[in-house]
Amino acid sequence: MSLREIYKPGQMGLSIEIFPPKTPEGDDGLRQTLRELAPYQPAFISCTYGAGGSTSKRTIDWCREIQEQYQRPATAHFTCVGSTREELVEWLTTAHRVGVRNIMALRGDPPAGVTDFQPVAGGLRYANDLVALIREHFPEMGIGVGGYPEKHPEAPSLEIDLKNLQRKVAAGADAIFTQLFYDNARFYQFRDACQALGITIPIVPGVMPITEFARIKRITALCGAAIPTALATRLEAAQDDKQAQFEIGVDFAIQQCRDLLAQGVPGLHFYVLNKSQACRKILSALS
């Protein structure tokens, strides 16, 4: 099912994001997670590409397994990092051959220790170039792109970041999936700003339930997302109690999702970090 079909008016598209594990034990754990989440009938399950394209083959392998073993559509992440234009087309051709019909087109992060993204010779520099490449070679594919309610960390300003997003949409994106956030007001402001620029494609909020305060502090420090003071205070007070942190984070996510749904979002995109417990609790509470 294409992204164009998933986000039709009047229906809510649930999606789940996983990453290719690095060990056989991780593979087994992810399979158990997918068995536990598949009954919630996600519209698709997306699989990340790995830093520098390091798991590009594994991404395709997992997308094939998701579709064959769990009977859910798969969306493959795809980045510009480390590949020439010809290599990118070759990867796309392989993904299409195994049945992948939706792509999450992202520029990708520069390698560790490098602050400025530089394409390889013959490669692409921007995500909008990647969207255009997909449209050129596989025009029927559904294409998702990333959006940052609190600005991409590398963007000089939110206005410039929104202009970059506008270029991705103009190149042929079908839906925008946001970076995680914990202040819904930031999302609504972002959505309004997109609409003011004439962006009309679905904007799907990305949700990462907090299950461990130390981990989420590391993640938000990298992506620039703010944790509301009241929530951070509660989590700080429970920093020696992992179960309490989990319960605080899940309860917050339930309330966050209820508010988003009440405000008419077209879907919810869960970053589950290959674990099912928090997502299952949230989805059960929302049902």
Contact between 207 and 277 (Cβ < 8 Å): no
Per-residue model confidence as pLDDT tens digits over 228-241: 999 999 999 999 99
What was the pLDDT predicted at 55? Answer: 65
pLDDT per residue as tens digits for the range 28-52: 999 999 999 999 999 999 999 865 5
Q: What is the CATH number of the domain that holds 190?
A: 3.20.20.220
Q: What share of the chain is helix, strand, coil (3-state, %, to 5)?
A: 50, 15, 35
| pLDDT 10s digits, 120-132 | 777 788 899 999 9
**Count of beta carbons in the 10 Å neighbourhood of residue 229:** 8
Q: What is the mean pLDDT of residues 257-270?
A: 97
Judge contact between 207 and 269, C-beta under 8 A.
yes
45: which residues sit within 8 A by CB, 6+ positions away?
15, 16, 17, 18, 34, 37, 66, 70, 72, 73, 74, 75
The CA distance from 89 to 55, in Å, is: 17
What separation in angstroms does the CA of 7 have from each of 96, 144, 166? 21, 12, 19
Contact 128, 167 (CB under 8 A): yes
Q: In the structure, what pLDDT confidence band is assigned to residue 283 with cuts at 50, 70 and 90?
A: very high
What percent of the chain lies above the pLDDT cut of 90?
Answer: 83
DSSP letter assigned to residue 111: P
Q: In the structure encoding, which two tokens stand for residue 77, read together?
A: 């992440």
What are 23's two structure tokens? 């060990």
Torsion-angle region of 91 (φ positive above 0: left; ψ -120 to 50: alpha; else: beta): alpha
Q: Give strand pairing partners of 56.
A: none
- 118, pLDDT greater than 90: no
Catalytic residue among 17, 87, 90, 159, which? 17
Residue 57 has pLDDT above 90, yes or no: no
What value does the mean pLDDT take over residues 215-227? Answer: 92
Residue 121 three-state SS: coil
pLDDT score of 257:
98
- Containing 3, the helix (H) or strand (E) segment is helix 3-6
The pLDDT value given to residue 10: 82
68 is catalytic: no
Number of helices (H) and strands (E), helices first, in the chain?
11, 8
Distance separating alpha carbons of residues 4 and 139, to the nearest angstrom? 12
**149 burial class (0-12, 13-18, 19+ CB within 10 angstroms)?**
buried
- Split into its structural domains, the chain has a count of 1
Beta bridge partner(s), residue 77: 104
Alpha carbons 209 and 220: distance in angstroms, whole number: 12
Q: Which two tokens mark 185?
A: 């007001």
pLDDT band at 282 (very low <50, low <70, confident <90, very high): very high
What's the domain range around 111? 3-286
